[in-house]
Amino acid sequence: MSIIHHSPGPQTTFGRGPHWLHESPFLPPLWETTQDVGAPSLKHSAMKCILSDQSLLKREHFAHVPWPLAKYLWECLGKCQKQTMHMWKIMADTYPQQFHKTSPEYCLRIDSPKEPVKCYIDLLNSDIGSWQAMLAISSTHATTADLVAIGNLKNLVAMDIYPTNRIPKPEDIDEGRGQGLDDRILRTWLEVAETTGSLQQLRFLRLVNQPRVTIQALELLAKLPNLQHVALMGCSTFQKIVHSDRDHFGEWLASRSLPYPQPLPEDESKSCLVMKGSRLPWKSRIVKKHNLEENIDGVQGLPALNSDTPILEFDLSPTPLLTRETILHLTRSPQQNQKKRRVPQPDSSKSQGKRVMKDRPGRDIADVLGDFL
């Protein structure tokens, strides 16, 4: 079952952390307070007591809870429409083998951020890889520091960066919002990735109307080992490439397609909404077709996502400003994929002829003391 939340505004005003900016940890008032026959069972009463305030729950509380009982608690939250991101992450962390079958995706959508975008980006991270993160972020709301924070995500598999049709406010300009992505930010991502191991799972990237990204970005993006597909829409520095016949750019193979959003068949449109719930047609289609191991827009050889790991999707801004221009698709060439998979073997010949210090056993402390006695 897909979990989809559309939150027009904050439901709580108390400070309990970024998880509760747009969701409430409390059960609905008077939810199941009466029974048709007799008094509620002890199991039911215990369930309401445990779930009365989700902000107090942690992963450690479920360390010794069997999965059938945890599934019962999750289903009870579904009945009252209180399956929050906080509880979803706890379940995904604690029950990695079972939970993805019950809830393969959680999607949180918000119209406008109530805190710096970095707060939301940090919520997506999972150091142990309990879930795959998908991020659709508006550069209109993001500062340079917010975009730099994306480079810390270790479990990010797909990302959209696009502007919106919202009119900028004076405070946006003062705080540096809306400048968009540039080569300097991409270079910072790579520096962070080399030291922390982040962005190693990134497979798909779409950039819409990002004029500060230049052709030099292709060399930078090629250093991300698992990045297989880059879609460029309306990026002014790539217009000559889009309209040229060139089909090869370093490690990337190029192809063109009609602009999104394209009208989907009625049956496919419904299946996308039910299966993935993503508002962006590009992302829904590419994930759905990757999981079915099909091609999309004539681009072949794209890898499928791990279906055994749930997906945590965050969409910021409801109305992405898309372009009607031709889309440039860049996929990594098969030769480069083979090079990425090769593991370099240590060269033993380089160590021949070098002087090596002999291993000498250390003296026992009793022998050292004996020298002075």
Q: Do 11 and 156 share a domain, yes or no?
A: no
Asked whether 170 and 193 are in contact (CB, 8 A), the reply is: no
Pairing of strands 229-233, 105-110: unpaired
- The residues of the chain scoring below 50 in pLDDT are 1, 6-13, 261-282, 284-286, 288-302, 341-351, 354, 356, 364-365, 368-369, 372-373
Does residue 353 sit within a domain?
Answer: no
- Give the pLDDT of residue 292: 34
- Cα gap 17→89, rounded to integer Å: 15
Q: Do 136 and 28 share a domain, yes or no?
A: no
Radius of gyration of the chain (CA): 25
- Give the pLDDT of residue 341: 47
Nearest one of 263, 161, 156, 239 to 201, comparing CA atoms: 156
Q: Do 133 and 11 share a domain, yes or no?
A: no
Q: What residues pair up with 315 in beta bridges, in sequence order? A: 109, 136
Q: Do 87 and 189 share a domain, yes or no?
A: no
Does residue 90 sit within a domain?
Answer: yes
Does residue 359 sit within a domain?
Answer: no
Strand ranges across the sheet with 229-233: 2-7, 105-110, 311-316, 132-138, 156-162, 204-208, 229-233, 327-332, 252-257, 248-249
- Cα gap 97→115, rounded to integer Å: 34
- Give the pLDDT of residue 76: 95
Where would I find the beta strands (DSSP E) of the chain? 2-7, 105-110, 132-138, 156-162, 204-208, 229-233, 248-249, 252-257, 311-316, 327-332
Q: Which of 74, 103, 132 is the last residue of a domain?
A: 103
Does residue 121 sit within a domain?
Answer: yes
Structural domain of 275: 107-167+176-340
- Give the pLDDT of residue 172: 57
Does residue 54 sit within a domain?
Answer: yes
Q: Do 156 and 302 share a domain, yes or no?
A: yes
- Cα gap 140→164, rounded to integer Å: 6
Question: Residue 137: CB partners within 8 Å, gap ≥ 6?
Answer: 117, 121, 146, 150, 159, 160, 161, 314, 316, 317
- Cα gap 199→211, rounded to integer Å: 23
Nearest one of 336, 324, 328, 121 to 230, comparing CA atoms: 328
Q: Do 112 and 188 share a domain, yes or no?
A: yes
- Give the pLDDT of residue 259: 64
Q: Do 70 and 113 share a domain, yes or no?
A: no
* Cis peptide upstream of residue 303 (ω within 30 degrees of 0): no
Q: Do 73 and 112 share a domain, yes or no?
A: no
Q: What's the first-to-final CA gap in the chain, in angstroms?
A: 78
Cα–Cα distances (Å) from 351 to 251, 357, 358, in that order, read 33, 13, 15
Q: Do 24 and 160 share a domain, yes or no?
A: no
CA-based max dimension of the chain: 94
Asked whether 317 and 164 are in contact (CB, 8 A), the reply is: yes
Q: Which of 103, 127, 145 is the last residue of a domain?
A: 103
Question: Residue 267: CB partners within 8 Å, gap ≥ 6?
Answer: none
Q: Is the pTM of this model over 0.85?
A: no
Nearest one of 290, 327, 322, 332 to 161, comparing CA atoms: 322
- What residue has token string 């994929």? 337
Q: Do 198 and 322 share a domain, yes or no?
A: yes
Does residue 60 sit within a domain?
Answer: yes
The upper half-sphere exposure of residue 142, i.e. CA atoms within 13 Å in the direction of its Cβ, equals 30
Does residue 289 sit within a domain?
Answer: yes
Q: Do 187 and 328 share a domain, yes or no?
A: yes
Q: Which of 103, 138, 155 is the last residue of a domain?
A: 103
Nearest one of 27, 157, 24, 15 to 86, comparing CA atoms: 24
Does residue 73 sit within a domain?
Answer: yes
Q: Do 13 and 153 share a domain, yes or no?
A: no
* Domain count across the chain: 2
